Amino acid sequence: MCSDSGEKQNRVARLCVCRGSVVCSPAITRQHAFTLVELLVVIAIIGVLVALLLPAVQAAREAARRSQCTNNLRQLGIGIHLFHDSEQKLPQSSQVGWGHLPKILPYIELQQVYEQGNVVDGMRAGTRHFKMLTNLEIPTFFCSSDGSPRTRDDIHTINPDYFDEGAVTNYLGVGGSGWGKVYSNNPVTNGGLPFVSDWPYTDPLGNQDSIDNGNGMFYRNDIDRRLTFAKIEDGLSNTLMFGETLPDRNAWTQWALGNHGMATAMPPNARKSDGTEYERGDWSNNYGAHSRHPGGVQFVYADGHADFIQDSISLVVYRAMGTMNCGEINVQ
């Protein structure tokens, strides 16, 4: 007969099997585990969830980076307005000296940098102070969506002594909309230096030169022009002031030097007719706005507000926004 140990302290049910003199043994509990098929199904589900969530995470990160870029542009707008309030004019640029951005350093909480660089009108590129300042990376002058190097040694090849290296920027002044045939280092002279572009445009005042004599707020050699907000006849809220560019596309982006700018003759993120990007050295087609933000570029307007302009914007409207007193009807 079956034997029972009677040990109630274990309180575990025992299964007795009587086989001759064999003593009853406790029941064996079966352990459950995932089969290979079940494991593969779980892995597949996790993969699908990750694939669904990853774009949302990336979109959230880009939204944060774009917000930071917007804040940078607003800071530039505030700095320019404070400069105007103090100097009763807008900052000016020299092709062979300081650009617009160094002039507003004291108004974006960088007074010490301004003093170290000894930023004064008339200082030519290549001086000790100039070289020191041009190698400084200013975080406010960069868009966090652009991961390209912030200091370059291949800016361009005009003068290797001081043009070919230094810290760059993602923000350039808008010089106007005229583009495509000639420009002149001296706006007083007739003629000019010819160039070829896929985006020729003559603004309503007959201007084709947004490099040295533009109808926009800031062009590269506006040192002899004294501009005030009162002279912006098209309205501060309708006129573009600074916009985004990419040093990987535009070779003229050294932030401290005045030898740069952009035109609105070509659309934002302009590409070749076959959809490919223009080469970095093709300056006449890259002299426009570019960004890493999907679908468009950010600008700050003359009144200080920043906005995102889509690549699909009407080119007529976009060109009108780049000029300050051409009288175009600007309806977005």
Q: Does residue 207 contact residue 178 with C-beta atoms inside 8 Å?
A: yes
What SS3 state is found at 279?
Answer: coil
Distance CA 289, CA 266 (A): 8
Q: Does some domain include residue 55?
A: yes
Return the higher-pLDDT residue of 31 and 208. Answer: 208
- The order of strands in the sheet holding 240-244 is 171-173, 240-244, 296-301, 306-310
Q: Does some domain include residue 17?
A: no
Range of the domain at 185: 46-321
Q: Does some domain include residue 26?
A: no
Q: Does some domain include residue 68?
A: yes
Q: Does some domain include residue 9?
A: no
Q: Does some domain include residue 296?
A: yes
Neighbouring residues of 139: CB distance < 8 A, sequence distance ≥ 6? none
| Per-residue pLDDT tens over the stretch 60-114 | 788 889 999 999 999 999 999 999 999 999 999 988 889 999 999 999 999 999 9
Q: Does some domain include residue 246?
A: yes
Q: Does some domain include residue 213?
A: yes
Neighbouring residues of 199: CB distance < 8 A, sequence distance ≥ 6? 179, 180, 265, 266, 270, 285, 288
Least confident piece of the model among 39-43, 220-224, 261-265: 39-43
Distance CA 137, CA 135 (A): 6
Which of these, 260, 303, 296, 88, lies nearest to 169 by C-alpha position? 260
Q: Does residue 144 contact residue 159 with C-beta atoms inside 8 Å?
A: no
Q: Does residue 203 contact residue 215 with C-beta atoms inside 8 Å?
A: yes
Residue 151 corresponds to which tokens in the numbers above?
A: 């200091």
Residue 12 has pLDDT above 50, yes or no: no
State how many domains the chain has. 1
